[in-house]
Amino acid sequence: MNSFGRLFRIILFGESHGPAVGVVIDGCPAGLRLAPADFDGDLSRRRAGRPGTSARREPDVPKILSGLLENRTTGAPLLIRFANEDTDAAAYEAIKDTPRPGQADLVSRRKYGGFSDLRGGGHFSGRLTVGLVAAGVVAKKIIRPAAVAARLVEAGGETDIEGAVAAAVADGDSVGGIVAVEVRDLPAGLGEPFFDAAESVIAHLVLAVPAVRGIEFGAGFRAARMRGSEHNDPILDARGTTATNHAGGISGGITNGNPLLFRLAVKPTPTIPRPQATVDLRTGETREILFPGRHDACLALRLPVVIEAVTSIALADLMLLDGQRRRVMGEL
């Protein structure tokens, strides 16, 4: 479904080549200061333009259509809309009968009875993440002083990220990457057992971001190879500070006051400047197709700010669920 959250709720709308994309935020506390300029930093981090990113150019100017008065949230839903300006209808024809490998073309056609908007991936496009980034700007204000920092730590298996991307571009190929996230100054107590463990809520949102294929908290997959005596984090004081942080800041699904740490895997961009094998739905036969389109050579390059956004959205909701609205209101 296109909504997420229990108290801080977001609804994502739009398509890659439709008139607009954006987000509605319902449940945002009233009185939060919010100005159009607040979005500039995060939107520009998400924007294409660097080597290895798509040729599509969108100005990404947020237009707030409701819920704001004199640069303060009113308690009514915030609607933040971005016009799509650099669209390309021709993209549709190429994939109409030959679905792209690694994309939603074939499954969306089937699930929606042939009526889904396939142009540029439609509602499945990474273009939708601009709405997430916008909601993240609001969520980041709510969770203050907690601060989420995501960064790309590896591309194509290498820490020289620019080099790995350049090599892939040179080869007419793409690469995946690893994003590492750290949240500091997060209050303890976030997470609602049994099912809304902090890991569950964060993973739910992070794995909804196109191209994310895995997530691990704290020591993560390494924990599976550790002994208990090594993995346990000794508790140092009554506030719960631990000597190590293999738990990644979460105990029993609840944040424990130590830094929240997780990592995620991003797959390589599926559409590459090389022919790929797919089926021709008109004939039922397979053929090699060179798919057009403007794509990042490394999707992961633009993802850290999106991951910061969804993490902040998850934490904002957990904070309100934990009854911390008074504190949030007090921060305004």
Q: Is the CB of 6 or the CB of 44 nearer to its own copies?
A: 6
Task: Considering the complex, state which of residue 37 and residue 224 has its C-beta at the smaller distance from its own copies.
Answer: 224
Nearest to its own copies of 216, 308 (CB atom) = 216
User: In sequence order, which residues have a C-beta less than 8 Å from that of residue 204 and are 6 or more positions away?
Assistant: 4, 314
Looking at beta carbons only, is 24 or 148 nearer to its own copies? 24
Q: Per the omega criterion (within 30 degrees of 0), is the bond before 145 cis? A: yes
Q: How far is the CB of 325 from its own copies (least distance, A)?
A: 4
Virtual CA dihedral for 161, 167, 171, 173, nearest 10 degrees? 0
CA pair distance 104, 294, nearest whole angstrom: 17
Collapse the DSSP code of 157 into the 3-class scheme (helix H, G, I; strand E, B; otherwise coil) and give the result.
coil
Give the shortest CB-188-to-its own copies separation in angstroms.
Answer: 6
- Tokens representing 193 are 């057992």
Amino acid at 45: R
Q: Which is nearer to its own copies, 22 or 140 (CB)?
A: 22
Q: Give least dist CB 112 to its own copies, A.
A: 4
CA 55 to chain centre: 21
Angle formed by the axes of helices 304-321 and 129-143, to 10°? Answer: 50
Q: How far is the CB of 286 from its own copies (least distance, A)?
A: 6
Closest distance to its own copies from the beta carbon of 136 (Å): 14
